[in-house]
Chains A and B, each alone.
Chain A
Amino acid sequence: MAAAAVEPRVVVVGAGPAGSRCVEALVKAGIRPLVIDESARSGGQIYRRQPDNFTRSAEQLYGSEAAKATRLHKSFDGLQGRFDYWPESLIWNLAGNRIFVVRGAQQCSVEFSSLVICSGATDRLLPVPGWNYSGCYSLGGAQIALKAQACAIGAEVVFMGTGPLLYLVAAQYAKAGARVAGVLDTSPFYRRVAALPDLLANPRALYHGLGLTASLYLKGVPVYSGVEPLAIEGDAAAGVSAVRFRDGRGREKQLHCDAVAMGYHLRPETQLADLARCQFDFDASTRQWLPRIDRDGRSTVADIYLAGDGARIRGADAAEASGELAALALLADRGQAVDSQRVARLQQQLGQLERFARGLAKAFPWPHQLAAQLADATVLCRCEVVTVGEMRSTIALTGASEANRAKAFSRVGMGRCQGRYCANAGAEVIAAATDGDICSAGRLRAQAPVKPLPLALVEVAPEDWLEVSAEGVDPVLKPAEAGL
């Protein structure tokens, strides 16, 4: 095999805050890592960069986080030439110590000596009748439209769900001049009060969060807490026309809009860790399955490290800390000397940020009882167009009480997204229908490819891509960005 010509590499997946800091620590220690990221440019989700010919300032793009974004981008750009970088490249599978990467219609495989997975997170979604109409987006999708393309998902947008991003993205829309028809939070206000002691672990973030809410109030955006989403109104042809919900006092209300952005905090992207056969544990506080890691980010599989939101939802600052920490763990495991004081400091910082993250999870809990009670007619799996009622009757007929089994019979989770959007709610429906607890409903096992894979793939040798990335001028070095 041609690939044997390339020595096993230290590979970092993801060039968000976790991956960027990981790369920095590795390069400082004299390693030349290979960085693979699906996006065209580094920065990850929160510090996503705009395309080349866009000229908004860092303040416009990242608000209160502009300085951090700029520092991170500069660090990454400043190290160019000291690592190999494959942007727009997706690791779609791995086996043993070999990763398989697709870029366009080309595929190439490389052996790794160590692999740090910094794959980030996506929105956790809760089905609601009508969420399959055009005009419905995840909060992440809504934010990407704004950050990357400077466009809004609609002229009049309702933000619905829970979590800090609900307020963040709504505020970003309001600031960008879009009309925010309302912010609907399923979490009642008292939860946030109860979570205050933990939230004080990161006063700066708490302060910014409160600032966001205040900015929405100041702009006259209606903000409701403790809501129950009832339906997204509209039709298949014209898309979304309104959101119907019950407010905190049980009154039915309706907000007109032409787009809805939804999200219920985040879920880690764990397919690669799963394909690498890392062990997972159920985390009762977030009702999610998480890959098991030690405090430095070692997974249960040798040579595989997990950092950032792909391991635990802890936010961007924690992503930076955990990325560096994973790099230091990797170096230590290779027998290289590491600064133990630095390690201790990062661990301590991470501990504090984890407390804050726990506070957020308490303040904005996943409304699992809403998932369990979804009306039969609600589409549960959008890819396969399977309703909650169909899932329930499949469970009743077959006795399936576990997610993979229920998927085999009902097709829920079998479509393009492979359950990334429906699995959380699906597990709640299964648990409720079988009287089982959510833990025994299990989790969908990841199956390759991580994202849909073109059948037209042509295999190339890694040397082909390594040459290009070492010699080619990377777009991130272009002067257009110098103003940042």
Chain B
Amino acid sequence: MKQIASDVVIVGGGIMGSSAALFLRQRGLSVTLLERDLIGQHASGTNFGNVRRQGRPLYQLPLANRASAIWRRAKELLDTDVEYIQGGHMRVCYRDRSEMVERMESYARDAKELGLELELLSAPAIHKRFPFLGPEVLAGSYSALDGHANPRLVSPAFARAAQRLGARIEENTRIILVEKVGEDFQVLSEAGTVYTAPNVLITTGAWGNELASQFRETAPLTSFGPNMSVTEPVPYCIKPSVGVFTTEEKETVYFRQIERGNVIIGGSTRAPGFPNTCRTHVRPQNTLSQLQQIRRLAPGLGQLRLIRVWSGTEGYLPDWQPIMGPSAVAAGLYYAFGFSGAGFQIGPGVGETMAELIASGQTSIDLEPYRPSRFSPEVG
């Protein structure tokens, strides 16, 4: 049987696994990254591409800020343009949900103390500065240092950068068993190869439970596919990424324009994921509800045509927070999965945090809100 040894085996090559691989290599640990399909093919490569901090729970902001710093130097770090555009992020609420204004205001006050500056805008100011927003928009909160990036490019760029630093990367390698034998873990692929390491990081997204359950650390993970659409290209003029702040899932739509000119639209009702087939299918009904909602947010988009819709498989937890941190059962085993629809922006921060934790045994980021055993009090 083929055996391959390293300091860390990472299972799952989405943005979490591939960025962790780079940051572990930067810290001098040897790394093997194993991906069932292709690097970044799933949630990390199919997401909307929002690189936004605002709207995240306040306790997530340290992680988001850490990521934000990486996004800003992504081009140099990765030696590739991942189309990160710091065009700002706008969060708006509608007139018929005026109660959201107060929530935006208090969020802005608290976020400021945590290093996220938000500019609050009233309706006249918004319509002057962002004339493409619809008359229903009542107020907004603008984060100048956020933006968006091309998800298709990001994780492969991290993986290539890690590879250049010596990480071993194997695609089309599905891991079926992780076992601790003595001091080391033995990680077995479907093809029969055994990868050994004293540390294992599980970053398998919506599929996290397949391996976590082998350590009786099953999380209440469900899978969904948010709706995405893209329009034909039109002259580039919209810099910020814009989203609706509401309590109604149907109304939660967002859009951004890329330099090529296409407008990317996301949100409204999600479809169930199909983790077994690794495919999500956009429900046509959801495209229709998305179109209806996006016309409220930016009526001018109603003049365009959609050329494609897609989705991706994402793992969600009941509290919308990931499973992230050390295993309560096996020393040397770490998890970072189930990012609940918002892992793209924090991804590089997660990678760096997990690398720090694995390499040094500690991290400056408070991981308590993401404790893997938080849903199963009997474990650990």
Binding site for B on A (CB under 8 A): 92-95, 98, 100, 107, 109, 384, 397-398, 405, 408-409, 411, 414-416, 418, 447-449, 452-457, 459
Contacts and interface: CB of A to CB of B under 8 A. Distances in A.
Contacts of B29: none
B231 interface: yes
B307 interface: yes
A436 B254 CA distance: 40
A94 B287 CA distance: 12
Interface in B13-71: 38, 41, 45
B281 interface: yes
Given A95-B281, A408-B45, A409-B152, A459 B307 contact: no
Considering residues B294, B307, B310, which has the most beta carbons from chain A within 10 angstroms of its beta carbon? B307
B159 to A, nearest CB: 10
Nearest to B306: A453
29 contacts: A93-B287, A95-B281, A95-B283, A95-B285, A98-B284, A109-B285, A397-B160, A405-B41, A408-B45, A409-B153, A411-B260, A414-B308, A416-B307, A418-B308, A447-B310, A448-B282, A448-B284, A448-B287, A449-B309, A452-B232, A452-B305, A452-B306, A453-B305, A453-B306, A453-B307, A454-B304, A455-B302, A457-B288, A459-B288
B292 to A, nearest CB: 8
Contacts of A409: 152-153, 156
Contact of A94 (B38, B156, B284): B284
B154 to A, nearest CB: 11
Contacts of A94: 284
A109 B284 contact: yes
A92 B307 CA distance: 11
B242 interface: no
B291 interface: yes
B305 A100 contact: no
Contacts of B307: 415-416, 418, 449, 452-453
Contacts of B232: 416, 452
Contacts of B310: 447
Contacts of B100: none
B301 interface: yes
Interface string B153-178: 10010001000000000000000000
B295 A448 contact: no
Of all A-B residue pairs in the complex, the 7 with the closest CB atoms, nearest first, are A452-B305, A93-B284, A100-B284, A456-B302, A408-B152, A453-B306, A447-B308
B303 interface: yes
A405 B38 contact: yes
A408 B295 CA distance: 28
Contacts of B287: 93, 448, 453
A369 to B, nearest CB: 28
Contacts of A397: 160
Contacts of B306: 449, 452-453, 455
Interface residues of B, number: 30
Interface in B270-315: 281-285, 287-288, 291, 294-295, 301-310
Considering residues A415, A416, A447, which has the most beta carbons from chain B within 10 angstroms of its beta carbon? A447
A448 B309 contact: yes
A454 B153 CA distance: 28
Nearest to A384: B260
Interface in B318-363: none
Contacts of A416: 232, 307
Contacts of A415: 307
A397 B301 CA distance: 35
Contacts of A107: 288
A452 B309 CA distance: 10
Contact of A95 (B38, B284, B294, B301): B284
Contacts of B304: 454-455
Contacts of B45: 408
Given A93-B287, A95-B281, A100-B284, 4 more contacts: A93-B282, A93-B284, A448-B287, A449-B309
A457 B309 contact: no
A416 B307 CA distance: 6
Contacts of B284: 92-95, 98, 100, 109, 448
Considering residues A398, A449, A452, A453, which has the most beta carbons from chain B within 10 angstroms of its beta carbon? A453
A398 B154 CA distance: 12
A241 B260 CA distance: 30
Contacts of A98: 284
B45 to A, nearest CB: 7
Contacts of B295: 455-456
A421 B298 CA distance: 32
Given A409-B153, A409-B156, A449-B307, A455 B281 contact: no
Contacts of B301: 455
A216 B246 CA distance: 67
Interface in B150-206: 152-153, 156, 160
A205 to B, nearest CB: 37
A415 B307 CA distance: 7
Contacts of B153: 409
A133 B152 CA distance: 30
A98 B288 CA distance: 14
Contact of B303 (A384, A405, A456): A456
A105 to B, nearest CB: 9
Contacts of A457: 288, 291
Contacts of A447: 308-310
Contact of B231 (A95, A414, A455): A455
Contacts of B231: 455
A94 B281 CA distance: 10
Contacts of B303: 455-456
Nearest to B289: A459
Nearest to A452: B305
Contacts of B294: 455
A398 B309 contact: no
A419 to B, nearest CB: 10
Contacts of B152: 408-409
Contacts of B282: 93, 448
A414 B262 CA distance: 11
Nearest to A459: B288
A411 B287 CA distance: 22
Contacts of B305: 452-455
Contacts of A414: 308
Contacts of B260: 384, 411
Given A447-B310, A455-B231, A398 B283 contact: no
Contacts of B281: 95
A453 to B, nearest CB: 5
Contacts of B309: 93, 447-449
Contact of B291 (A95, A408, A455): A455
A447 B309 CA distance: 6
